[in-house]
């Protein structure tokens, strides 16, 4: 299977920890030069340090993907340092959500759309021209198990991830004609900082409804992204690859992780 990315440059957003960090390390391990983005500069620098200590090439660029001007500057700096972005992984995300009936004016719907949807649109907008020019590129959007059934009690997050899946499907049809593959990876529940606050009750219900009886590890999500980034997947387009262990839906009324 062709997984060599030694001639490619990848941009991974939200790569300072969790799934994003594992994805950046995976792509670097497959030979890619990696632009490591995170909102927190220290976290991005830590990921770069791990890549370079292993013999890879990477640069860290902190930026808020919901701010288009910051994304434009990030992409320009990354391309100047490492060359045209061949692989874009839209991983940056937020976990701000709660029951709809408890909603207030805290802007959680807007935040989820700003980061998940608009953050991805900004990153695609400022990398796609280079991909079109060379007639090749990979865009991989990190969606969620929430796009399988919706999870309930978190409509803001569901809306953010469903909208990102819609963007993925639509752009795959348009950009595929330019040699750009647009796909998604949908993780189930993963042992990341985002799930650290789950109660024992929540974790028990999730694992009881998972055939493997456990959460995923970030490296398992990263390997799926690595496959979609590699030449081995060049005929895959518009696909959402689920990495959830066959997770069955949970009854969101019976758990409380907040």
| 9-242 classified as CATH 3.40.50.720 | yes
**Percent of residues, the chain, with pLDDT higher than 70:** 97
Catalytic one of 136, 157, 162, 255: 157
Among the listed residues 242, 153, 131, the one whose alpha carbon sits nearest the alpha carbon of residue 198: 153
- Give mean pLDDT, residues 66-74: 98
For 43-67, the pLDDT digits (tens) are 999 999 999 999 999 999 999 999 9
- pLDDT given for residue 200 in this prediction: 92
- Give mean pLDDT, residues 216-227: 98
- Annotated active-site residue 157? The verdict is yes
Least confident of 26-40, 51-65, 186-200, 215-229: 186-200
- Tell me: pLDDT of 258 over 60: no
- pLDDT given for residue 256 in this prediction: 52
DSSP letter assigned to residue 60: E
C-alpha distances in angstroms, 150 versus 4, 167, 241, 250?
A: 36, 17, 16, 10
For 98-127, the pLDDT digits (tens) are 888 888 767 999 999 999 999 999 999 999
Residue 108 CA to residue 219 CA, distance in Å, equals 29
- pLDDT given for residue 106 in this prediction: 74
The pTM of the full predicted model, rounded to 2 decimals, is 0.96
């Amino acid at each position: 299977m062709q997984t060599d990315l030694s001639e490619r440059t990848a941009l991974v957003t939200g790569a300072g920890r969790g799934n994003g960090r594992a994805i950046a390390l995976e792509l670097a391990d497959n030979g890619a030069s990696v632009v490591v983005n995170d909102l927190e500069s220290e976290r991005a620098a830590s990921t770069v340090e791990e890549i370079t200590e292993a013999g890879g090439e990477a640069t860290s660029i902190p930026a808020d993907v919901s701010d288009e001007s910051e994304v434009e500057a990030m992409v320009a700096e990354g391309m100047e340092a490492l060359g045209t972005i061949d692989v874009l992984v839209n991983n940056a995300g937020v976990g701000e959500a709660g029951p709809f009936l408890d909603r207030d004016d805290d802007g959680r719907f807007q935040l989820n759309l700003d980061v998940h949807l608009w953050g991805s649109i900004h990153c695609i907008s400022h990398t796609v021209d280079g991909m079109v020019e060379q007639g090749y590129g990979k865009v991989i959007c990190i969606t969620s198990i929430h796009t399988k059934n919706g999870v309930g009690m978190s409509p803001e997050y569901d809306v953010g991830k469903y909208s990102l899946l819609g963007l993925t499907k639509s752009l795959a049809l348009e950009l595929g004609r330019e040699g750009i593959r647009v796909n998604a990876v949908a993780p189930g529940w993963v042992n990341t900082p985002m799930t650290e606050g789950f109660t024992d009750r929540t974790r028990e219900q999730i694992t009881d409804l998972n055939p493997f009886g456990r959460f995923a590890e970030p490296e398992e999500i990263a390997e799926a992204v690595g496959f979609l980034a590699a030449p081995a997947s060049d005929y895959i387009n518009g696909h959402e690859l689920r990495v959830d262990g066959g997770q069955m839906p949970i009854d969101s009324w019976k758990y409380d992780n907040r």
